[in-house]
Structure 1
Amino acid sequence: MVLREISRSADGALLTLRPRGGGDSVIIERDALRPFLFGKDVERWHIDWQGWWVVFPYLETEAGFKLMPTAQYRDHVTAAKGRREGRRVFAGYPADFPNLEAVYPHLWAYLNTHEAALRGRENGKYRVGREDEWRWYDLARPQSLEASSGRKIVMQLLGRSSQGASDTMGNFFQAGGKGGGAYGVQLLDNALTKYFATLLSSHPADFFIKTSGIVYSGGYYSYADAYIRDLPIPASTSAQRDCLSRLARELTALTGELRGLEVQARDFPDSVSEERRGTGELPELDELGNLAQSAGLPQRLEANKVQEGGESLLGKPGEVTQRVGKGTLTLGAEHARLVREVLAQRRSIGRDELLALRVPERGADVRAYLDTLAGWRTRMAELRGEIGAREAELNDVVYNLYGLTTDERAVVERFLERF
């Protein structure tokens, strides 16, 4: 059961969520959930978690995670079959092990609302009278819970290149479906996690996986465990492993900063307003539609279909008219620049959404907003350069580990330029 966070209580103990399949929002205890990833959320050096959670009715013990019992089934004994005697399903649980409804009443209320659907899973496997009726709220296949909750590398199953990142949040993930899903790689020695992540992200490894694996339509390759398990692991010194681990940390940090700035730029100008609100420097705002004259605008504005019509002859001095198809948008020069930048970032935007944007009233404040956006773009360009430099350093180290010659490196690079 996967749900997306809408908001949370002041102390973070309770989350308000909306089920993935739709329906009313619900409140569930934070500790009864685990962060959840889809395949598309896994990027190179970055996990772009989108606020999805999965229900997790387990309690951690020294022996691992155990399904929490309910009052109804705590003393449940399965029916005997032939020579096999019935068994008490929660035998071995200590007397003070809490019931689910006592610890997580909000989760319990949500589960009860969907009891019929949950019992009907797996062709009715959990219906009353069936052997597994007692675990109707359990995950269908509760495997590797400890591994999923621990430190690991999360890999996209399908991609045009290796897409993976170190995970320290204990994310669970979609194991298949659209986008290929994701899976986790956990090492016996956690200290080597970042080192192995750099090997998987290197050009030599990508070459090996692509030339020994399967290619799908659209130029996508499988990065499933079946194709990375045979990746040769070169001998390395502690200094080389430390170097690659450092590069993994730096690439993760740089990519995280870049993705954050990309989101802020995409959400311009609202993102600048939020930043100014946090510092107490928010200027007077108004809806763009109140500051502009519009006529005949299409329902959706596309960046490549907006033409500058020059200074307006009918409006106030300094106003600019932008033509969109057969429609026009007339507004001050600074606000016209802002509209161009919004379209440059979003590529397209609905007419009503554009006119409802809350923007600074004063031209000077608009210029300050545009300066902030320009600063973000400058920093993004710097970050892309730094990421490229560190990727090159990483590849150089790994090439040396594998002992590839200059000619052999050229073969790998030419292949990856094409594939």
Structure 2
Amino acid sequence: MTAAAQSKPRARYAAKRDAIMAAATEVFAQQGMSGFTLAAVAKRMDLHPVSLTYYFKRKEDLAAAVLHDTIGRFAAMLDQAEARSAPADRLTTFVAAYFETRRRIALGEEGPLAPFSEVYLIEGDQKQPVIDAFEALYVRIGRLLKSEDTPWVATLRRQGLARLVVNLLTWSDSWLPAYAPDDYGRVAARLADILVNGLAAQGRAWPGLPLVDLGGPVAENDEVTRDRFLVAATKLINREGYRGASVDKISAELKVTKGSFYHHNSDKDELAVACFQRTFDLIERARREAGKAGSGWERLWLAVVSLGMHQAEGGGGRILRHHALAAVPTAMRRRMLLRFQQIGNSFAGIISDGIADGSIRPVDPLLAAYTSMVVFNACLPLEPKKTPPSTEGVIEEYLRPCLLGFFVK
């Protein structure tokens, strides 16, 4: 058989495998790990499930392939960034490379990227290699910020900011479709500018105002209340995704029966909606109380830092992470995204007011609002044996550079 004849079957195999990967990525994004099956992928492609086993024997193999593909594409973006010498240029190049990839995806020139929201939920012998490859991305993103000229941007800060960057880029799934692909380059440039240079106008100090009280610790007694169900469900959804947080697991978290669950809640969907509403209420309370401060910069600072510290301390129950929307039923997801959009518009209003009064430097208000929302949403938790080890660490090594610029001293 000639080389040309041999190449045709290989090309057909590669094309079919690519089509399976693209369909699998869409299923993974919409249904999460718990709803990801070979049958679901085959149904999307109008194929019999058995035909997929020629390419992938198990669903875990296909899920791992999808995640490794996306991790590899992120690694290629980092290759571009690491070719630059200055940390700010490296970060800007990485953000630009990500949105260029998204532009090509929007135009049909590349396949979709898999979400990272449930990367830790993959099972079997594929689990650890996927997690190791994913965590290596965080290390590389953190190293983009490293320089002998800025020794104060140490490991602790780089770890938190790398987390922010990944969350910010992946959260763009919820708002990027509102932009035309031709605008993605501008979006990348404006976001990178916010990360590098912060939001405060030149000469504006770190306010240091008393933070908004968003609720004390949840009572740890034997009484089972609706509030405790909300806190427990939020914790599980943050950790295991919407589909992974089953009625059984939520009940087990509180050490109660399923009967007790249904005594306090209609069903899981109703409880999940209530968890989102609780999150929206906490954000609105912080924004409303922060509205009493002076300048736009002070109002933005007070809302973001109060919510960030609430998320870090977790005493009154953390808010839902943005990735909680992954695998949420379509109708519910649409309603929740609309509410997040409304919140983003509210924060954009604060930022616009700050630009007008001179306390916030000229930035794209809506992109700055999305960034601010991810700042508090992705705030690192204060937990035993975790870092940062103190309130001061969260503020100084995460919230401060998020708002004043990654490289602020």
- TM-score, normalising length from structure 1? 0.21
Higher relative contact order (CA 8 A, sep 6+): 2
**Is the radius of gyration larger for structure 1 or structure 2?**
1
Name the one with the larger helix percent. Answer: 2
Q: Which has the higher strand share?
A: 1
Using structure 2 for the length normalisation, give the TM-score: 0.21
